[in-house]
Structure 1
Amino acid sequence: MPLPETIPVRYSEEEAGYVSLRPVVRQTFGVHELLDMVLRVTGKDAARVRQILRSGTIAYHCHRYWWAAFETGETELAEALARFPDADPTRVFNESECVAVVFESGGVAAREIATIERSAASHRRWLRPRSLWDFLLATVRAAALKYHGYSYECSADVFCHDVGEEEAAKLEVEAERLAPRGLRHALRGLKAARRALFISPRSDKEARHASS
């Protein structure tokens, strides 16, 4: 059963699990565009993707989306999903490709503590010998970052570094010392971090190759 080329979609803001009374917006999605959004929620799990397409609705980024539910053939869906990148455990972390670091707490129900973007953290404060971004990269050069997988939400490969208590305490001190003023308040609480996720988007050439 072939996938439709275009899908009329309606969406509205969703508040605390309830659809708000704000206006419903109508838009036509291409099938690749709809699948891209679904993958950001499900990952490349064909069974879950089929279930959501069949249900005709998904919640994403504080919005609820609806479309006329449709069935998909396994072969056709597999071909469509093959146009999206796959995780690649053979990839090696490259500092120049990294655009952000996400710090999470420990435990089973890990929560995000802070996200540090390269664009903001690369600014060096007056009379400081290095930037916060320089410090973050220096801390992992001696460590072997583990490949964590591909994030469809970030459209990037993710590399993981486990953060110990002593390292987390130092991280909070250095963030206060090196971070630009606009970042400092958001970075308080880093001493609770137990995992750092380094976000590395693939090049435009690789992205085009995956979707071809």
Structure 2
Amino acid sequence: MKAVRTSEPLLWKADLTKSDLEPGWYHKNTPVKRCYTLDEKPGHLRVYGNCYDLASPESPALLLRKQTSYNQTFCIKLDFRPTRPGYEAGGVLWWNQYSYASIGVAGKAADDAGVVSAVAMREPAGKPKLFKDSMANVEVGDVTSFTISIQARPTEYTLSLTTSGRTNAFTVPVADLTVPPPVGGSFTGIMFGIYSFGQGEPVLDPADFSEIAIREDTVNKSL
């Protein structure tokens, strides 16, 4: 018997036609001020990153949705063009500030003193606060539109970013992600999310997210 995975109709899709987010979205901690808007670009969730990265004990510009089953795929479309090194936006698989995985687009200093966009990947390494960061040296040129997905399976997650027909991806074993934090406990379960942050400074370039959805994947057995 061979297991074949198929995507069912959408389990959930973000309603981006309202003036505020629908119930079911979460922040990490209480933000000092609102980091998003649904009015500036109709049909998009526009996020303005702050100076707090994903490992910060403060409240980064991070919006989360709960994972509700073992086999799901979180999908987003991102439009982002960073103009300073360290500006970054993308999708995140969240356990807590000590352990998470992310894939996105970041500003990178160029040889001519300019800034180029590159794929940024951050993998948990099985210990709290220990990550494998890589820029992958994949420059995306003038491209500003990206598709990001986080595929959940019972024992692993696969994060991927696709642009212009090219995909960068990596897989995270559940055991490497769900490590006990050095203080406190993990009570929220795993979440999917979107984020934007600057390297010690607010992000002046908006990150526009759209087509935010979760699909419920099923397994069919066939010969």
Same fold (TM over 0.5): no
TM tier, smaller: under 0.3
Higher strand proportion: 2
Tell me the TM-score normalised to structure 1 length.
Answer: 0.26
Tell me the TM-score normalised to structure 2 length.
Answer: 0.26
